[in-house]
Amino acid sequence: MDNQEQGHKRRVRYKGTHPRSYKEKYKELQPEKYADTVERVIQKGGTPVGMHIPICVKEILEFLQIKPGQVGLDATLGYGGHTREMLKCLESKGHLYALDVDSIEIAKTRKRLANLGYGPEILTIRQINFANIDQIAAEGGPFDFILADLGVSSMQIDNPDRGFSFKNEGPLDLRLDPERGVTAAQRLREVDQEELQGMLTENSDEPYAEEIAKTIIQELKRGREIATTTQLQQAIEKALSFIPQGERKEAVKKSCQRTFQALRIDVNSEFEVLYDFLDKLPEALASGGRAAILTFHSGEDRLVKKSFQRLHKEGIYSEISHEVIRPSAEECIRNSRARSTKMRWAVKA
C-alpha cells in the first residue's frame, strides 16, 4: 500500500488564479482536451504554450491556388497548421511532403496530423533540413506548390528547456535540432570579441553590439558562466548600464531579443541554410509552380527579395511579388507574433 501511494503523483497545481510557468499551463499544452481554455487565450491575443498559430493562411492559400491532385511541399512543418490547411485543399487527392529538423516537435506533429486522418497515403513527413530540398524533390517532385515559413515556432519559444527566450530561465541552447550541433552557450565560449560583435551586427543589426560583445567576453574570461538564458540577459543588462535608467528597461529588452536572434541564426547556420534553399528552389518547382515564403526579420527578407529579383531577371521566375504581403490588422490583434511577418512569392516560368 505504501509503495502504491508513493508511486502516485498528483499534478502540480499552480498558485494563485493564473498559471505562470510552462509546465503549470497543462490545459494549454493539451488543446484537444481543453479547447475552451485555448480559445480564450487566443481571443485575448495570446498564443497558447505548446502550440503555434499559422500566419497568413488566407494570403498563402489565395496565392498557391492548390487544386486536388497536385503535389506540394511544406518545407517547414512546425506545428502543422499550414500543412493542415494545404491538405484540406487537396481533398484527399494528390500528395503533400513536409520537412522539419526539430526531432522533438516533428514526432508530436506527425501524431497530431495522423489523428486528423492525414496518413502516409496523402502526407509524407521527413526529418530533414529544408536546405536539402533537392533530395526531397528527387523523391517526390517537381512540386506544384512550395511553402517555407522561416524562423522559430511558438512551441519552441515557449518551452524553457529549449532556451529560445530570455523571458524564462533555461539552458542557453537555441538549437532547432537539439540532437545536433553546438549550443549557444558553447558557441559563446568559442568566439572572440570581434567575431561576437560581427555576429550581433550582421544577424540582428544590434546597435550596442560592441558593448554587449565586450561585456560577454569579459565575463567569460573572469570565469563567470553564461550557460543559461538568465545569465545572458544579466550580461546584456550589465553592458547597457550606461543607458539612462528611464530608458534602460526597454533598451535591454530589445537588445535581448536581438542578441538571442543573432545567436540562434549563428547556431543553426540559418542564413547559409536559406541561401541553399533559395538556390535549389527553382529546380524543385514544376513549370508554373508557385512558392511562398514567410520571413520574420530583415536579414531573411533581404535574402529572399534579392534571390527572387535575380532569378526573375534571368527568366527563371515568370512573376514575383514586388511588394511584401503582410498579415491583416485583425490577424495581428488575434496573434501578436504575426506582426513582424512578411510574405513574398514567386512563380516558376
Domains and CATH numbers, the chain: 57-154+271-348 (3.40.50.150), 178-267 (no CATH)
236-281, pLDDT tens digit by residue? 999 999 999 889 899 999 999 899 999 989 998 989 999 999 999 9
Exposed, middle or buried, 135 (CB in 10 Å: 0-12/13-18/19+)? middle
Q: 57-84: per-residue pLDDT in tens?
A: 899 999 999 999 999 999 998 888 899 9
Can you list the alpha helix ranges (DSSP code H) found in the chain?
2-7, 35-43, 57-64, 81-90, 103-115, 133-140, 154-158, 184-190, 193-204, 209-221, 229-239, 245-267, 270-284, 298-313, 329-334
pLDDT, mean over the chain = 85
Please state whether beta strands 285-295 and 342-348 pair in parallel, antiparallel, or not at all (unpaired): antiparallel
Confidence of residue 328 (pLDDT cuts 50, 70, 90): confident
Find, among 77, 81, 78, 97, the residue nearest to 145 by Cα: 97
**DSSP-based three-state secondary structure for 207:** coil
Mean pLDDT of 91-104: 90
Would you give the end-to-end CA distance of the chain in angstroms?
A: 73
Do the beta carbons of residue 39 and residue 62 sit within 8 Å? no
Contact at 8 Å (CB) between 142 and 284? yes
* Cis preceding linkage at 31, omega within 30: no
> Could you give the CA distance from residue 327 to residue 59 in angstroms, rounded to a whole number?
8
pLDDT of residue 53: 79
